[in-house]
Structure 1
Amino acid sequence: MNSAHGAATVAAAQAGDERAQGELIAEYLPLVYNIVGRALSGHADVDDVVQETMLRVVDGLGGLRDATCFRSWLVAIAMNEVRRRQRAHSSEALCDGLHEAREVADPGADFVGLTIVRLGLSGQRREVTEATRWLDRDDRELLALWWLEAAGELTRADVAVALGQSQQHVTVRVQRMKTQLEVARVVVRALSALPPCEELESLTAAWDGAPGSLWRKRIARHARDCVACGGHRNGLVPAEGLLAGLAFVPVPEHLGGLLPTAFGPAGSGAASAAPAPAPAPAP
């Protein structure tokens, strides 16, 4: 959205223009869907979080002081909704007597798989996408934003506002996340190598196939010390180069169809019934 035109649309939406509100929903739904999908790593609640984000955005438009800051404000609300949903699941898990939240993956919403299939990824672009499964939760949340920064859809300032941190702090976090992502890319290569490494097969005999930090560390350690797997780090193209210009994962038809109903016939009818927006940094 052109910044001048975008600010005018936001201002009109703030004044109650239902058509402008509908335009904002249609324009920014793909951005929100891609952020939430990656941050929640294909959790079954992705669609609910996307819808709740858009409801809160429309309901909270009156509190946005600067229309030119709409995008970073919206992204901050999306990340607040992601964290709220994760806290809810963590609380439920504790009530069940578990030490960690159980993330229920929906095979139909696996965002890594959707990204690969819908964007037709291959080679190192596919590898880096598969590697995101191996990141810890905090790194996945950061990746959801940094991925879109690398693709040219967000700025570092947008990312900083969304995380409620300084750009300098975000830069440090991004560097650490990229280091973990590179390790994960080596893990992906080691596991998919043909012929397979016999030592690695022996090491992973008890592995259940679910990516996690413990097995990431074990497999990465093996790859570092193994003669057969030692070359998997060679030739890795920087991740930001692979993501530059990459398109959005298309919004599923069922989600795009639900939103107009949720917002009423003109895109805003139910917004007033939504809870107050989660606190977001005021631009």
Structure 2
Amino acid sequence: MTPDRESLVADVAAAQAGDKAALGRIMAAFLPLVYKLIGRELDGHVDVDDVVQETMVRVVDRLGTLRDPSSFRSWLVAVAKNEVRRRWSRRQQVLDPVEPGDQLADPQADFVEVTILRLGILDARREFAEAVRWLDHEDGGLLALWRLENEGELSRAEVAEALGISLHHAGVRIQRLKGRLTTGRAVVRALAAEPGCPALDAATAGRDGAVTPLWRNRIARHIRSCACCCGYQGDLMPVEVVLAGAALRGMAPPRRLYSAASPVLPAARRHSAPRHAVSVG
């Protein structure tokens, strides 16, 4: 459980002044949040543990640059998102060689499928999880933050700050995201319907199983104009209700990340920058 605001501000200030116990409390309290955020942004890729460790070390290293201890949570989220971007950038530039025995993510089963199997979620949650596949590529980071907001881990203001946009703009982006999720859920229903719609079958004859925003929009246009399929847009459980209580319990940090924090983080703290400016990079 993350500390209340007053305790957090006190611990951050103490950690900046060199209190290792306060630093340890902060790291232990926020490691699950960082692990959950990065796990979702990386779709459960095997790099998650490494990126989490890199993030926590960078947080300790840069903690002295944080001017306002009360903004620690949103600053931490921004640091985590930057580490995710660094990892994706590195993976695009070079492909790491695969060593025998390396644990690789199953190329036939993405993180959504693993989640479905692991949790055995209800039909509405399964529908939501499948609809996530139909989102725009850049929606992943926003969805991860919005889910944390729904779970009470972040406030809307902290989401906006992590995204580097205004509170109003964050609200607009989240509303658009919810719209795409609703469309995706209707698409999932239409494609899974038995018996299927002959007109939809004809309209998707060349899809070959593709799950892309282009096909999402094409199928959505058919749904809106088809008397057989238009009902799939209605009777959708609100996404906030679907997400309520659906936190990914399987995304708990491995114990070794907690144990690794003891020797690594204090060492990184000794090299932290002087407290003079805010940096998340």
- Output the TM-score relative to the length of structure 2: 0.80
RMSD: 3.1
Post-superposition Cα deviations, 1:99-139, rounded to whole Å, max 9, x if no partner, equal xxxxxx93399432344445542122221222112111221
Hey, what's the Cα distance between the residues in 1 that align with 2:4 and 2:54?
25
Pairwise mapping of residues 24-43 of structure 1 onto structure 2 (< 5 A)? 24-43=26-45
Hey, what's the Cα distance between the residues in 2 that align with 1:206 and 1:46?
35
Query: Which secondary structure state, in structure 2, belongs to the residue aligned with residue 134 of structure 1?
Result: coil
Hey, what's the Cα distance between the residues in 1 that align with 2:148 and 2:183?
21
Structure 2 CA distance for partners of 1:30 and 1:117, relative to 1, 3 Å: farther
How far has the Cα of 1:239 moved from its partner?
1.4
- Indicate the residue corresponding to 2:228 in structure 1: 228
How far has the Cα of 1:210 moved from its partner?
4.8
How far has the Cα of 1:142 moved from its partner?
0.8
Read off the aligned partner of 2:37 and give its amino acid letter.
Answer: I
1:81 corresponds to which of 83, 107, 110: 83
- Indicate the residue corresponding to 1:113 in structure 2: 113
Post-superposition Cα deviations, 1:212-232, rounded to whole Å, max 9, x if no partner, equal 212222322332233332211
Structure 2 CA distance for partners of 1:124 and 1:258, relative to 1, 3 Å: same
How far has the Cα of 1:206 moved from its partner?
4.5
Is the Cα–Cα contact under 8 Å of residues 10 and 20 in structure 1 kept in the other structure?
yes
- Indicate the residue corresponding to 1:101 in structure 2: none
Is the Cα–Cα contact under 8 Å of residues 41 and 110 in structure 1 kept in the other structure?
yes
- Indicate the residue corresponding to 1:260 in structure 2: 259
Is the Cα–Cα contact under 8 Å of residues 132 and 181 in structure 1 kept in the other structure?
yes
Is the Cα–Cα contact under 8 Å of residues 118 and 250 in structure 1 kept in the other structure?
yes
Post-superposition Cα deviations, 1:84-111, rounded to whole Å, max 9, x if no partner, equal 2333344459xxxxxxxxxxx9339943
Pairwise mapping of residues 122-271 of structure 1 onto structure 2 (< 5 A)? 122-252=122-252, 255-261=254-260, 263-265=261-263, 268-271=265-268
Structure 2 CA distance for partners of 1:274 and 1:46, relative to 1, 3 Å: farther
In the alignment, structure 1 residue 46 sits paired with structure 2 residue 28: no
Hey, what's the Cα distance between the residues in 2 that align with 1:154 and 1:92?
34
In the alignment, structure 1 residue 10 sits paired with structure 2 residue 12: yes
How far has the Cα of 1:200 moved from its partner?
3.6
Give percent identity, aligned residues only: 52
1:69 corresponds to which of 71, 77, 96: 71
Aligned residues: 267
Read off the aligned partner of 2:7 and give its amino acid letter.
Answer: H
- Indicate the residue corresponding to 1:102 in structure 2: none
Is the Cα–Cα contact under 8 Å of residues 223 and 230 in structure 1 kept in the other structure?
yes
Read off the aligned partner of 1:172 and give its amino acid letter.
Answer: V
In the alignment, structure 1 residue 19 sits paired with structure 2 residue 21: yes
How far has the Cα of 1:42 moved from its partner?
3.4
Specify every segment of 5 or more residues in structure 2 that has no aligned partner in the other structure, as ranges: 96-103
Query: Which secondary structure state, in structure 2, belongs to the residue aligned with residue 136 of structure 1?
Result: coil
The answer to which of 33-42 and 226-235 deviates more is 33-42
Read off the aligned partner of 1:67 and give its amino acid letter.
Answer: P
Hey, what's the Cα distance between the residues in 1 that align with 2:56 and 2:150?
24
Specify every segment of 5 or more residues in structure 1 that has no aligned partner in the other structure, as ranges: 94-104
